Amino acid sequence: MSDTSTRTHHRVCHLCEAMCGLLIQTKGDKVTDIRGDKDDPLSRGHVCPKAVALQDIHEDPDRLRKPMKRIRSAPGEYQHVEIEWSEALDLAADALASTIEKQGVDAVGAYFGNPSVHNYGMLTHQRNLFRHIRTRNRFSATSVDQLPHHLVSLWCFGHMLLHPIPDVDRTHYFLMLGANPLASNGSIWTVPDVRQRLKDLKSRGGKLVVVDPRRTETADMASEHLFIRPGSDAAFLLAMIHVLFRDGLVAPGPLSTFTDGLDEVAAAVSGLSPDWAAPLTGIVAEDIVRIAHELAEAEAGICYGRMGVSTQAYGALCQWAIQVINVATGHLDKPGGSLFTLPAMDQVVNTNPGGFGRFASRGRGLPEFNYELPAATMVDEIRTEGEGQIRLMFTGAGNPVLSTPNGRVLDEAFEELDFMISVDPALNETTRHADVILPPTSPLEHDHYDIAFHNLAIRNTARYSSAVFEKPEGALHDWEIFSELGARVAARLNLEPMPTYPPDRMVDAALKSGPYGEHTDWQLSIDKLKAHPSGIDLGPLEPSCPERLQTPAQRIQLAIPEVLADIRRFVQDGNVDSDHYRLIGRRHVRDNNSWMHNHHRLMKGKPRCQLLMHPDDVAKEGWRSGMLVTIQSRVGAIDAELAASDEMMPGVVSLPHGYGHGLAGTRGEVASRHAGVSCNDITDEQFVDQLSGNAAVNGVSVRLSAAAA
């Protein structure tokens, strides 16, 4: 007889970086209520609409519950049919082993999407398979998102995961570029209930200044908002650094004893005045000078930039300049400034620091980072013939057809592969090409610990979530899929398989050996976290330098030769073309890339896939809201509904990311009803940050015209 009692489960929401604590009520095998956990020391009871949609995700009738095999149903037509796990795993293992034996390990390509970082079994157990497949053709969402952050952290602080976190709760001045945390709940910054935290900043007399080509939800509540031309943020930041040196505002304080390179930075920006930056950015010189002075003179201040400054042609230069500003003003490693975390499972200690440029892509010579190539070169590596050409593709929790530049061409290239394997619960625009799909359990059917996002949180906390529902009979968790597949591939290649331990045991060992573990009064372990299901507060972020630095001699390095050369490239080539419109993305609080569009609670309300354009531009073109407009770039064209909005900077248009659903062979009823168009059908895989290889999906040059009837 089934259990129909009502139970309350403590859980953390895994759908974005905020890690909001939840109380989930169930009756039998059904979710009956989801609300915020007021006892969670990080989120304090806050939730956003995504958390409530966990029920939709779990109950989604389109979610795959059994492995799928692709079969030809007619010439040029395919369908997916359910098969048993043993057959699916053998098919995948046979294809992997055969490809490696016949064509070499680099004939295997792999792409991991954003959700893989939100599911800890995928983080802990990918190695069970890929230790046997040390391919150079690895890609991930990192290089269409936050690669510049990682590269700058590696260069300046010695580890790709050592990110300074804005201490919003104690700051007095917050300069924010290209970020919209009211929609994202923070990004490379775990900050639940960010609206209230920013309100608190203003109520205590602090100032929030947002620089963005769109008056976003965050900009709308800011003390001040300045429009900036897409792609010109580097000019604004470099001119600020120029002012800091010119006006005697450089005051690193304690940082001066372990910082190298300030003199070289001063020389590099000596000619980059606010008067030089003003025509590039659209921000008057007086405002650049004033903001530099305000930030430098604040008791505690922050300079922070996110997607808008990362995913552009000078993303790494922008992120480096942001850290130079924080160091030069003495606001790094200071309460109320930007501080490093000390998480219970310390990824800075437990992982390789990363590396850069040890090899390059065959097609275009783009550099690797952390043994991954930029996603923008994936098509090249599939289509460029010769040794190392990708013939088999493995995707994990990713939809690069909608999420990477020129997705339409990637969609075509996937059909040219010999074989494709996807670990994914969705039959989406990418996995429809897969010969085998291996679906893991629902998020509510497995336990969870946020390995990645505690490393980015505004407060040191720890929280473990037990599964809400038992694993269904015959299902596999993601970590079990990697373990089973890895063992089969090892057997076929006569290699030694890795021992398999459940991820909670691996996390438990890391907690016990970590900074709050067995050798401390905290005595942190999985069992202790189970006894405190709302989480344990480990305290505010504290100054930790130079000890926390991972560079040689634990010194901050600012004079990065590659970056100084990139300044010269920007000065020479960084003029923003004013003849075309510039396309930027945008995010909604109920979105998280392409994987959240098949759930009614998140898609209800007004349509969101519209092209936003300033009313003056609409009038100049003789158009009106509601009409269809053709947006054309170098790589293609799409039609989108036009919406006039004074939140846009003139000359700039905005289209959200992650749409373009409903293609043949996909399964997503709600997503298909809200299909929209994919902005990545017109982003350009050739348009990248030359320094890092990160995709430049913001600031894309486009032409607009009225769509044909």
CA 539 to the chain's CA centroid = 26
Q: Answer yes or no: are the C-beta atoms of 312 and 576 closer than 8 Å.
A: no
pLDDT value at residue 2: 59
Q: Report residue 277 CA to chain centroid gap.
A: 29
Is 575-706 in CATH node 3.10.20.90? no
6-59: which CATH number, 3.30.200.210, 3.30.450.20, 3.60.15.10, 3.90.1310.10? 3.30.200.210
Smallest CA-to-CA distance from 340 within 458, 435, 227, 226 is with 458
Interval 235-251: pLDDT, tens: 999 999 999 999 999 99
Give the per-residue pLDDT at 421: 98
Residue 648 CA from chain centroid, whole number: 24
pLDDT at 577: 63
**What is the SS3 assignment for 519?**
coil
* Dist. CA 289–CA 664, nearest whole Å: 54
What DSSP letter does each residue of 146-160 carry, written as one string? Answer: THHHHHHHHHHHSST
pLDDT along the chain (709 residues), means of 10: 82 95 96 97 95 93 98 90 98 98 98 94 96 97 98 98 98 98 95 97 98 98 98 98 98 98 98 98 98 98 97 98 98 98 96 97 96 98 97 97 97 98 98 98 97 97 98 97 98 94 97 98 98 98 98 97 97 78 94 84 92 98 98 97 98 96 96 96 97 97 94
**642-663: buried (b, 16+ CB within 10 Å) or exposed (e) per residue?**
bbbbebbbebbbbbbbbbbbeb
Question: What pLDDT is recorded for position 196?
Answer: 97
Q: What is d(CA 477, CA 131) in angstroms, rounded to the nearest whole number?
A: 19
Residue spans per domain, the chain = 6-59, 68-144+347-538, 575-706
Which positions ≥6 away from 260 have C-beta within 8 Å?
555, 556, 557, 558, 559
Name the CA radius of gyration of the chain, rounded.
25
As a whole number of angstroms, the distance between CA 359 and CA 368 comes to 6
Q: Given this model, what pLDDT does residue 74 score?
A: 85
Task: Convert the pLDDT of each residue in 610-641 to its tens digit.
Answer: 999 999 999 999 999 999 999 999 999 999 99
Residue with tokens 């001045």: 173
Tell me which CATH code domain 68-144+347-538 carries.
3.40.50.740
What the block records as the tokens of 253 is 């304080």
Give, in order, the Cα–Cα distances in Å from 427 to each of 96, 243, 471, 590.
Answer: 21, 53, 21, 21
Picking from 574, 116, 118, the residue whose alpha carbon sits closest to that of residue 315 is 574
Residues 462, 536 contacting (CB under 8 angstroms): yes
> Locate tokens 């509510």: which residue?
444
Q: Alpha helices, DSSP H only, in 329-474? A: 347-350, 378-383, 400-403, 407-414
How far apart CA 698 and CA 649 sit, in angstroms, is: 14
β-pair partners for 259? 556
Supply the pLDDT for residue 75: 86
